[in-house]
C-alpha cells in the first residue's frame, strides 16, 4: 500500500478512454476554475461496475462562443469579489458553451478508500490509481489542481500505491502547496503517523517512499528525486492522505 518509486515504468495508460464490459454511469459532474486563471474546466466522473478501478474521471477544457467575452466576464466577476464557485455558476448560466470544441486534457482513475482519522473515526475518500495529463498541461501543476478538486468533492484523497518520480514529487511539493496538509498513514496499524514535511520526509523523520523491488534500479535516473530520500527496504503499508 505504499508510494513506491517505479521510474518511468508506468503501465497505467489512461491516454485513451477505457474499453470495458459491464455497466457504467456518469456519477458526478464538477465544473471549476483554476486560481487566477480564466479557463473553465469540467470533471466528468464515470462509475464502473466491473473494472480495474471504481471511477474514471475525464477532465475537459470548456470552449465558449466569444471566448474573449467570457474571459473578460470572469475577470470582472473576480473584481466584484465573487468566489470561483460563484463565477463558474454565473458563466455557465450564460449558455455560451461550444460543446463541439471542448477538449479532453486529462483522465484520472481512482478507487474508494476508507481509513481511521486521528480521533479513530471511520472516514471515506478516494485513492488515486492512475493519471494521464496532456503533455502540454503536465508541467504547469494541472494535476495538482485536479487533485484539489477531488479533495473538495470527496473530502479525502489518498496517493497511489506506486508512483513515477513526477507523481512522487507532486505529493511532496505541489499537493502541499495548492491543496493542503499531507499526512503519512500506516495502513497496517490503521493510524496516522505524522505530517509530511519538507524534503519529502515526515516532520519527525519518517521516509514514506521506497524503490520498487521489481524495478531495474540502474535505469532509474531519479532526476527529480535526487535531493529527496527514499527507503531501500519496503514500506508498502504507508500511504499519503490530503484532506479538506
Give pTM, 2 decimals: 0.86
Number of compact structural domains in the chain: 1
User: What kind and span of H or E run contains 46?
Assistant: strand 40-48
**Residue 92 in 3-state DSSP?**
helix
97-111, 123-137, 145-159: lowest mean pLDDT where?
Answer: 123-137
d(CA 170, CA 44): 22
**C-alpha closest to that of 183 among 143, 228, 238:** 238
Give the pLDDT of residue 206.
87
Residue 93, φ and ψ in degrees, nearest 5: -70, -10
CA–CA distance, 84 with 173 (Å, rounded to integer): 24
- The verdict on residue 174 lying in a domain is yes
Residues 24-66 pLDDT 10s: 889 999 999 998 899 999 999 999 887 778 899 999 999 999 9
- Assess if residue 180 is contained within a domain: yes
Tell whether 38 is covered by a domain.
Answer: no
Q: Which helix (DSSP H) or strand (DSSP E) does residue 133 occupy? A: strand 122-133
User: Cell digits for 155?
Assistant: 473530502
Is residue 48 assigned to a domain?
no
Q: Let me know: does 128 contact 148? Beta carbons within 8 Å.
A: no
Q: Is residue 159 part of a domain?
A: yes
- Cα end-to-end span (Å), the chain: 22
Alpha-carbon span 12 to 26, nearest angstrom: 22
Which of 105, 68, 75 minimizes the C-alpha distance to 90?
75
Domain span at 128: 4-10+111-243
Tell me how far apart the alpha carbons of residues 184 and 198 are, in angstroms, rounded to a whole number: 13
Confidence of residue 176 (pLDDT cuts 50, 70, 90): very high
The answer to whether residue 150 is domain-embedded is yes
Tell me the per-residue pLDDT of 77-96, one tens digit each, with 9 for 90 and over: 999 999 999 999 999 999 99
Question: Using the 8-state DSSP alphabet, how is residue 240 labeled?
Answer: E
Rg (CA), the chain: 19
Query: Is 31 contained in some domain?
Result: no
pLDDT for 150: 96
What percentage of the chain exceeds 70 in pLDDT? 79
* Digit-coded pLDDT (tens) for 91-119: 999 999 999 999 999 999 999 999 999 99
Answer whether residue 231 is part of any domain. yes
Amino acid at each position: 500500500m505504499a508510494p513506491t518509486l517505479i521510474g518511468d515504468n508506468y503501465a497505467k495508460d489512461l491516454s485513451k478512454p477505457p474499453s470495458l464490459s459491464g455497466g457504467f454511469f456518469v456519477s458526478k459532474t464538477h465544473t471549476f476554475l483554476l486560481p487566477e486563471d480564466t479557463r473553465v474546466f469540467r470533471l466528468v466522473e464515470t462509475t464502473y461496475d466491473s473494472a480495474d478501478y471504481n471511477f474514471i474521471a475525464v477532465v475537459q477544457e470548456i470552449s465558449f462562443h466569444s471566448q474573449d467575452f467570457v474571459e473578460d466576464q470572469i475577470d470582472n466577476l473576480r473584481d466584484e469579489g465573487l468566489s470561483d464557485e460563484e463565477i463558474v455558476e454565473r458563466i455557465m448560466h450564460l449558455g455560451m458553451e461550444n460543446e463541439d470544441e471542448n477538449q479532453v486534457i486529462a483522465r484520472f482513475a481512482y478507487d474508494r478508500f476508507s481509513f481511521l482519522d486521528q480521533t479513530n473515526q471511520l472516514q471515506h475518500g478516494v485513492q488515486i490509481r492512475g493519471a494521464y495529463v496532456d503533455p502540454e498541461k503536465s508541467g504547469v501543476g494541472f494535476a495538482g489542481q485536479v487533485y484539489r478538486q477531488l479533495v473538495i468533492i470527496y473530502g479525502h484523497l489518498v496517493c497511489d500505491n506506486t508512483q513515477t518520480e513526477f507523481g512522487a514529487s507532486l505529493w511532496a511539493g505541489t499537493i502541499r502547496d495548492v491543496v493542503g496538509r499531507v499526512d503519512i498513514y500506516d495502513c497496517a496499524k490503521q493510524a496516522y503517523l505524522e505530517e509530511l514535511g519538507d524534503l519529502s520526509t515526515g516532520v519527525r523523520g519518517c521516509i514514506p517512499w521506497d524503490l520498487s523491488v521489481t524495478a531495474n534500479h540502474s535505469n532509474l535516473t531519479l532526476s527529480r528525486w535526487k535531493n529527496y530520500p527514499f527507503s531501500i527496504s519496503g514500506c508498502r503499508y504507508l500511504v499519503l492522505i490530503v484532506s479538506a
